[in-house]
Each structure stands twice: as C-alpha cells, then as structure tokens.
Amino acid sequence: MSDLLDTLPYARFLGLQSRLTGEDLVVVMPFAEQLVGNPMLPALHGGSTAALLEMTAVAQVALSYPRLRLPRPINVTVAYLRSGRPVDVHARARINKAGRRVAYVLAEAWQGDESQPIASLTAHFLLDEDDNLQMVDETR
Amino acid sequence: MTDPFITDLLPQLAGGAAHTHALGFAFDGLEGDRVRIRVPYRADLVGDPQTGVLAGGLVTTLLDHTGGLAVWVKMGGFKPVATLDLRVDYMRAAEAGRDLIAEARCFQLTHSIAFVRAWAFEDSPDNPVAASQAAYVIETTGGRPVGANLRTRGTGA
C-alpha cells in the first residue's frame, strides 16, 4: 500500500517516493529543476510543496482507512513558513480525527531539519463510506 | 492592449517559470482586475486514475499562481511576492478530459499584504470546481533602510 503514490499520475509527475515505517509514511519529493517557481532565488514553487503535502495526506488516509475509492479533499489550508530551497523535501501527515465520512489531517513538509518545517497543511477529506463495502456484499 | 506589462510580462509571469511551464500554465486574459490562467488537460496531471480527474494539488497550484498574478495586476507591475497562506475549498470534481481555468482577483492591498480570492472552473466561475482565499506577502522595504523598523533599546547608561 505504501506504493499507492506510484499509481497516481500527478504523484509520479512530482517524482514522489514514499517510505513506510510501521503505519507511518514519509514521502520525499526529490529536487528537480521543473519544481522551481522562482528562478531568481531560486525557490521551489509553493504549489509543488502544497501538492506534496496533499498527496502525503491522501496516501496516509488511504493507508490507515482503506476504502474502495481514494479520499477526496473537501478543503485544504496551507501555511508557507519558509522559502523552499532547491533540495529534496520530506513530508509526513497525522490523522487527527477520522469519522465515518470525514477525516481531518495535519501534514508538514521540511528540508533537512524536521523541526524547521517549510510548510504546513490542515485538510478535511471525504472518505468513501463503509456502507459501500456493505453494498458490495449485498449485491453478491 | 499595448501596455507591455499586459502583453508581454503577464504571459511570462503566468507560465514562464520552470514549474508553471512544466504544468502547461497559459495566460488566459485580463478583464478589469480579474486575471485568468488556463491549464490544458493532460493525463500525467491526474490525481486519481480511476476517475481521470485532475489532481487536487494541481488545482491548488493553479489557484495559488493565478492569485499571485492578480496581486501584480493590482499593483500594476512586478514586485516579488510570496504566498503566506492559502485555503482551497473543493466544490466538485473537475470534469475529466477538460481544460481547467482559474480566475483571481486581489480585492485588498495593504503596504505589505495582499488579499486574494480565486475560482477554478471549466466554463464559468458560477460553477466552480474549487474556490480559494489567500494572503500574499509583498516583499518591499518601502524605501526604508534595513533595520528602520527596530526600536532603539535603552540609550546605554
């Protein structure tokens, strides 16, 4: 399941790689020239960091709460804390609350030092309902 | 439309950086203070291969970037800006196979912060895929030297 990201086209476009430790994912976005948004600094495009955070959250929710369909974002808030330098970015997500339909997730992205995040995300995701699993059973 | 800021610089700022170029972002017009960027549908930008819908992260990037463009439109020129925070609400899935357009408007500009709202849609902002509210920091010294904002501490003995 940790290789879910390999099956998602946009995660492949960003070059995301995931590492699973127990139940926790760490996703890496290796530096690539095409992630740069500001060539003068240079700095990563904030959107690429936001997409990394969102993909990390999706993958962690899909791992912890497996459903027939992927979790779909309801809303996403990103705070940009530091400029993204032209090196690898790491991200980790924590599910703060998961109900029957909605999961609330926090995620952080860092470069080098995890205690100095470059961006943080909070998001709600819509979970495919458990009912769907039962419906599959009923149609048998 | 002979203003070089609009004819030359805005298209460059919309899709000229490495990341926005790789995503295929293209300037799609300016009307008053509302500016648009279009991203052509591509299979490698899809988030969920089961549905063929463009990735949420791409929509976030599009709204973030179009918002930045709206700040430059409001200022009437280029100055370095950085996104401070961005909230995106997803109303519905984008239609598979169709280009996505974002329209942004900077509705308030202070000395150091710009406030922006933006929408992403296929046809009209009346039927949005997503809507965003963002704040951008404007990198400016306001002509003051570095340290001019610091209060002098005591007077020494």
Contacts of A13 in chain B (CB under 8 A): 44-45
Tokens of B1: 């439309």
Mean pLDDT of B133-150: 77
Q: Is residue B26 part of a domain?
A: yes
Rounded to an integer, what distance in angstroms lies between the CA atom of residue A74 and that of residue B101?
19
Mean pLDDT of B16-40: 97
Rounded to an integer, what distance in angstroms lies between the CA atom of residue A140 and that of residue A135?
9
pLDDT at A1: 45
How many residues are there in chain B? 157
Provide CB contacts within 8 A for A101, sequence distance 6+. A126, A127, A129
B96 touches chain A (CB under 8 A): no
ipTM confidence score: 0.91
Mean pLDDT of A29-47: 95
pLDDT at A125: 97
B50 touches chain A (CB under 8 A): yes
Give the closest of B19, B80, B88 to A45, CB-based: B19
pLDDT at B4: 84
Q: Do A80 and B85 touch (CB under 8 A)?
A: yes
Q: Do A45 and B48 touch (CB under 8 A)?
A: no
B52 touches chain A (CB under 8 A): no
Give the closest of B45, B47, B64 to A46, CB-based: B64
Contacts of A15 in chain B (CB under 8 A): none
Mean pLDDT of B52-78: 96
Mean pLDDT of B86-111: 97
Give the closest of B19, B80, B89 to A34, CB-based: B19
Report the gap between the CA of A37 and the closest CA in chain B (Å).
Answer: 5
Sign, CA torsion A67/A132/B54/B91:
negative
Model confidence at B14: pLDDT above 60: yes
Q: Is residue B149 part of a domain?
A: no
By CB neighbour count within 10 A (0-12 exposed, 13-18 middle, 19+ buried), where does A59 fall?
Answer: buried
What CATH number did the domain enclosing B13 receive? 3.10.129.10
> Mean pLDDT for chain B?
91
Measuring CA to CA, which residue among B108, B122, B130, B139 is closest to residue B64?
A: B130
pLDDT at B141: 61
- Do residues A86 and A68 make contact, with C-beta atoms less than 8 angstroms apart? no
Q: Do B85 and A78 touch (CB under 8 A)?
A: yes
Determine how many CB atoms are found less than 10 A away from the CB of residue A130. 12
pLDDT at B154: 65
CATH architecture of A4-138: Roll (3.10)
The model's pLDDT over A48-84, given as tens digits with 9 standing for 90+, comes to 999 999 999 999 999 999 998 999 999 999 999 999 9
The model's pLDDT over B101-138, given as tens digits with 9 standing for 90+, comes to 999 999 999 999 999 999 999 999 999 999 999 999 99
The model's pLDDT over A104-138, given as tens digits with 9 standing for 90+, comes to 999 999 999 999 999 999 999 999 875 545 444 44
Mean pLDDT of B70-78: 94
Q: Is residue B9 part of a domain?
A: yes
Q: How many domains does the structure of chain B reveal?
A: 1
Phi/psi of residue B102, nearest 5 degrees: -120, 140
Model confidence at B1: pLDDT above 70: no
The residue among B144 and A126 whose pLDDT is bigger is A126
Residue range of the domain that includes B48: 4-138
